[in-house]
Amino acid sequence: MSLVVWWSITRDYNQQQLQPTEDRHYIELFMNQFEITRMDEQGVPAYRLHGEYLQRYNDAEETEIRQPVFYLLETGREWKVSADFALVNNRKNTIQLKDNVLMQQQNTEPALIMRTQKLLINTRKQTAQTDDIVDIEHGKSYLQARGMIFNNISNELQLKSQVRGYYLPYE
């Protein structure tokens, strides 16, 4: 027994030691059923992000999320945005939502509801934009456009092109 122990501590393991895998592609971080809250400079929650599954690769700037639900928590201008998939880039302060994107205004009647297939949210500037077709409902009114830019701070919605639909005053 002592011979085995002596052999194991004196053997040269330098050749067999694991080397860092700098050029291999692997999952660096993953979580199931998660919730992330980001605070603003004053320590007030700016947004919350829920999801079914999160993963980040060692060589990627973006974090992948399945079934994301994003809550923009600006007082008086709250939004809930959901999709099938998202890419979060913390360095650029962006969330790219893809497939079945639904953006719903919260705590107001009638709520503004927007549907599209891709939506880029800048969390610092509080803007949401797409170049895809967007369907917009507000009460009994309906608009469709190719592309839009929404600024949550100024509460401005710009429709880019091919706008059509109808506007009915709500009661």
What is the reported pTM?
0.80
Of the chain, the percentage scoring pLDDT greater than 90 comes to 60
Q: Residue ranges per domain, the chain? A: 23-166
Query: Tens digit of pLDDT for each residue in 105-158?
Result: 998 889 999 999 999 999 889 999 999 999 999 999 999 999 999 999 899 999
The CA R_g of the chain, rounded to the nearest whole Å, is 23
- Is 100 a residue whose pLDDT tops 80? yes
Tell me the C-alpha distance between 124 and 89, whole Å.
12
Kindly give, in sequence order, each residue whose CB lies less than 8 Å from that of residue 116, ignoring residues fewer than 6 positions away. 101, 103, 130, 132, 133, 134, 135
The pLDDT-based confidence of 167 (bands split at 50, 70, 90) is confident
Distance CA 124, CA 41 (A): 11
Neighbouring C-alpha atoms within 13 Å toward the C-beta of 109 = 1
Banded model confidence at residue 25, pLDDT cuts 50, 70, 90 = confident
Q: What whole-number distance in Å separates Cα of residue 151 and Cα of residue 1? A: 73
**pLDDT for 44:** 87
> Selecting from 3.40.50.300, 2.60.40.1190, 3.40.718.10, 2.60.450.10, what CATH number does the domain 23-166 have?
2.60.450.10
Count CB-CB contacts under 10 A for residue 43: 6
CB 123 within 8 A of CB 93: yes
